[in-house]
Amino acid sequence: MAPINISDLENDMLVPHNPPGLNFSQQHVPFDFDGEHLIYMEYRPNNVRQIFIYTVTSQTVSEVLRFTKADPIVSHVKLTRNENNSLKLVYVQGGRQIKTYDVEAKKHQ
């Protein structure tokens, strides 16, 4: 498992941050971090891919999306907010389609 460090910009140093439930291995791909949320994908058996969000303040991990073998490849996942300040994911699926998912409403837009 790889250690996770967060930059302490005020003191110009990396601070170890290893909360329970957040362990990265070769099957994990971090995509984006907005200072409050970390979005990453985990490769599971049988070609299942799960996208998770880690919230720094509560130190919680939640599954956001799940893809099966039948779903096209997912890449370039980015955290953003809409006009209502609601957390969204924007990602590329199948190399061509740009998808938007509202994390709080739990639905694609």
Burial class (CB in 10 A: 0-12, 13-18, 19+), 36: exposed
Residue 20 has pLDDT above 80, yes or no: no
Distance of CA 58 to the CA centre of its chain: 15
pLDDT per position as a tens digit, 49-68 = 999 999 988 889 999 999 99
Tokens encoding 34: 């907005």
Note the pTM of the prediction, 2 decimals: 0.83
Which residue shows structure tokens 């389609």?
97
> Domain segments of the chain: what residues?
26-108
